[in-house]
Each structure stands twice: as structure tokens, then as C-alpha cells.
Amino acid sequence: MSHRQAVVFDVNETMLDLGALDPLFEEWFGDSGASRGWFAQTLHLAITLAAIRTFRNFGEIGVAALAMEAQRRDVALPDDFPARLREAVLRLPAYRDVASALSLLRDAGLTTAALTNNPLPVVQEQLTYAGIAGLFDEIMSVDEAGVLKPAPEVYAFAAERLDLPPYSVWTVAAHGWDIAGAMRSGLRGAFVARPGQLADPFAPPEIVGGNLIEVARAIVAMRAATP
Amino acid sequence: MSHRQAVVFDVNETMLDLGALDPLFEEWFGDSGASRGWFAQTLHLAITLAAIRTFRNFGEIGVAALAMEAQRRDVALPDDFPARLREAVLRLPAYRDVASALSLLRDAGLTTAALTNNPLPVVQEQLTYAGIAGLFDEIMSVDEAGVLKPAPEVYAFAAERLDLPPYSVWTVAAHGWDIAGAMRSGLRGAFVARPGQLADPFAPPEIVGGNLIEVARAIVAMRAATP
């Protein structure tokens, strides 16, 4: 019988579809594509904070990035923009492959978890709204680690919380930088190639799938092949 | 008499104009704007590597980012693209405000230095080609620190090389993430707002100038005000 393994999923863009934010950005910027620029700026600020090991609330980072996007595009945002952004982020749908992939892993006996830069109350509400909260054994936030992804300490914290050695834990993400941090901590990396996403060439994941079901099947197959 | 102070300049985009790469990207991608996407991808990979404290040669990072940009745009690059990119990067002009700003600082008795993610032989050739190598007391590369900017260790290394305490060293950059790393190490931050660049809201610089001459004047003025 094989040893216990766990699969830790990233949340934003990996399981939840940020495309649902497009109407809000269309309203503010007259350009639904502004949501991509905003999220890229959010990640840029977060990865910089991870590099300098300085912690900030990810909601605060998202609001700051939105103010930068507005400044860059010379757009005046309404005063209630932080509250409206937060409300929209809490109401994202899951991609259609998420529930099946999680069920497939759980049926095969793997532990499932979520790990995100979002604050814990935010991710709990997000996963509940998306109807998938019940499919996770653990829901974790970087808040508890005190440092943002992709700082390797975050992934070490997650493995410890799951009571597993790092090499028994897979990280599944649509972001190469997230896989890079996980692998630096000794976890195993599985990349889901959502549209527009590319793996990090300096941290090649063991698994690359076109969707989460492919990724889940590959994880189960590799586990079966392990004595 | 005031104590010795130094000013450490970032190189790419702060002193050297990457706009000179546009014809090459126009040739490869049919879109000169692809050079922005390429450099943003280069920085994304570099900052991720800084976050996970893994060192790679910045030239190698730039080549990997270019391959990603080609994959993203479904463009086939010629086999000699790494050599041609390298050649073009060695032949960038300095912005017109650079020499005056450096002279102004040196005339006021400040030590001047360059600090870049580029390998040392590359930056030496770049600054020589641009005609400004002689205006620096020190030319430094992250190669010597073994970790990329914005990891705080790099800036600590630079201050040590200059034989100064961190608070006696200014970092001048057109990149908020660079200032953020410097300030995390106790250096002082001065931001030059090149077109399209915004300061990092979580690391507000002491000085923000529209060009390097404004920045240099502000540094000299603040020094004069220090007892």
C-alpha cells in the first residue's frame, strides 16, 4: 500500500475564473482586458513582497494594484472601488474541471487542500460560493505563514500542516512562479496550462496538463507507479 | 562637513533606453511593443528567482523570457536569436539625462556606482558603449552577490563593497521593486518616473523625480540639509 499523499491547489486562476471580473473592469476602464493588467500588477507586487520577505494582506495588495492600473490608464475610480472589487472577488465561479478533478483525487485516497495568497476568511467564502469548499480536507492561507507565495517558507508550512514530508505533497497551479516556490521547498509541481499561462522554464513541473482532470489523472497514475 | 555618501544606479531602463531594441522585436514579432512584454517577462522570472533565492545568469533569463514571448505569440524565432538579443543589449544608448546627473553628483562629492542584474562583463561593455563608464567609481553586478535583485542581500553587498553603512547609500531606479529591495536592506530609495513606470506603493521612495537630473538635485539638496 502506498503512503499518504496530498495535493495542494492554488485558488485564483487555477480553480476560480477571474474572467467573472471583466464586467467590473469594463465599467471602470471601458476595457474588460484591464482585469488582466490589474491581476498581473497584483502578482508583481506580491512576488516582490515575497522576495523581500515583507508581509501584506493580499486584499490590500489588490486594491493598491488597482489604484496603479487606474493611474497608468489615467482613469478616476469611484470611491467605493475597494469594496466593489472585494465583493466581486468573493463571487468567482469555479472552472468546470475543478469538482471532477478533486473528486478523482479523493476517490483515489489522496488528501486535498487549498493554499492561497488570499486571506483565510476570503478563500473560505470564495470556495463556499463556488460550491467546492466541501471537497477540501484543509483550506490554508499565507496569512498563517506570515509570508506571501512564492516564498518557500509558505510551502514548508503547508506540508507541516498536512503532517507530510514535502515530497509527499503536490502543488497544482496555473502559475509558474507558484510551482517554482513549491519545488524550492521540496514539494512536487503540477502545472495546469490555463489560457495565456506558461510554466516557469527555471522550475519545470513534473506534470503539465491542459486542464485539472488531466493533472489529477497524472498524479494518481504516478502514485500508482510508486511502490 | 558631511559624511561620505554614495548613489547606486540601476542600469536597464533607469540609465539605458531599451527602446533601442524595438526594431529587433519589430523584425521578429511584427510588433515593436513585444519588447515591453519580453522585458516584463524577464523581470517576472528574475523577481521570482529572487523570491526563491535561486541564482541564474540574467542573460539566460532574458533568453528564456524571449522564448516564452515567442510561444505566447505563436512566433518562430530564428536560431540565432540569443546571440542577436545579446548583441542588441550591449548596444543601448544612455538616456540624455544620465551624464549630467552623474556629473552633478560627483561634483557635489558623492560616490557613484552602478548595480545591475546584468552579468559584470555585460554591464561593463554596456556602460562603455553608452559612453558613461568613466563616470562611476564602482560598477557592480549581482553575479558577485550570488542572488538577483530585489533580494535584500544584493543591496547589503553593494553597501559593503562601497564601505558605507546602508543609510549612506541611495539607490536610484526606474523600478519600484528595485527600490523596495534596497529599502528593505536599509538603503535609501530615489525613484525616476520613466514613462510607464510607477513606484511601489508598499515601498514609497524618499525622492521621486521626473528625470535623473531632478533626482540628483534632490539627493544633493537632502545631503546639504544633513548636519
| pLDDT per residue as tens digits for the range A90-107 | 999 999 999 999 999 999
Partners of B196 on chain A (C-beta within 8 Å) are 72
Show the domains of chain A with their CATH numbers. Answer: 6-17+92-224 (3.40.50.1000), 18-89 (1.10.150.240)
Q: How many CB atoms lie within 10 A of CB A113?
A: 20
- Among all chains, which residue has been given the C-alpha cell 547589503? B156
Provide DSSP, B118-185: S-HHHHHHHHHHTT-GGG-SEEEEGGGTTS-TTSHHHHHHHHHHTTS-GGGEEEEES-HHHHHHHHHT
CA distance to partner chain B, nearest, from residue A121 (Å): 23
Residue B225 confidence (pLDDT) = 82
pLDDT in tens, A33-65: 899 999 999 999 999 999 999 999 999 999 999
- Answer for the pair A218, A190: CB distance below 8 angstroms, yes or no: yes
* Contact between B201 and A56 using a beta-carbon 8 Å cutoff: no
Strands (E), chain B: 6-9, 111-116, 138-141, 169-173, 188-192, 207-209
Touching check for A195 and chain B: CB below 8 Å? Answer: no
* Contact between A150 and B48 using a beta-carbon 8 Å cutoff: yes
* Ramachandran region, residue B131 (left: φ > 0; alpha: ψ -120 to 50; beta: rest): left
**ipTM for the assembly:** 0.96
Most B CBs within 10 Å: which of A49, A52, A71, A198, as the mutation test of the B interface?
A52
Joined together, the cell numbers standing for residue B111 give 560616490
Partners of A52 on chain B (C-beta within 8 Å) are 150-152, 180-181, 184, 203
CA distance to partner chain B, nearest, from residue A38 (Å): 14
* Contact between A177 and B48 using a beta-carbon 8 Å cutoff: yes
* Contact between A202 and B44 using a beta-carbon 8 Å cutoff: no
Touching check for A151 and chain B: CB below 8 Å? Answer: yes
- Answer for the pair B25, B190: CB distance below 8 angstroms, yes or no: no
pLDDT in tens, B120-165: 999 999 999 999 999 999 999 999 999 999 999 999 999 999 999 9
* Contact between A51 and B50 using a beta-carbon 8 Å cutoff: yes
pLDDT in tens, B39-70: 999 999 999 999 999 999 999 999 999 999 99
Q: What phi and psi, each to the nearest 5 degrees, are found at residue B169?
A: -120, 125
pLDDT in tens, A190-219: 999 999 999 999 999 999 999 999 999 999
Decide if pLDDT at B1 tops 50. Answer: no
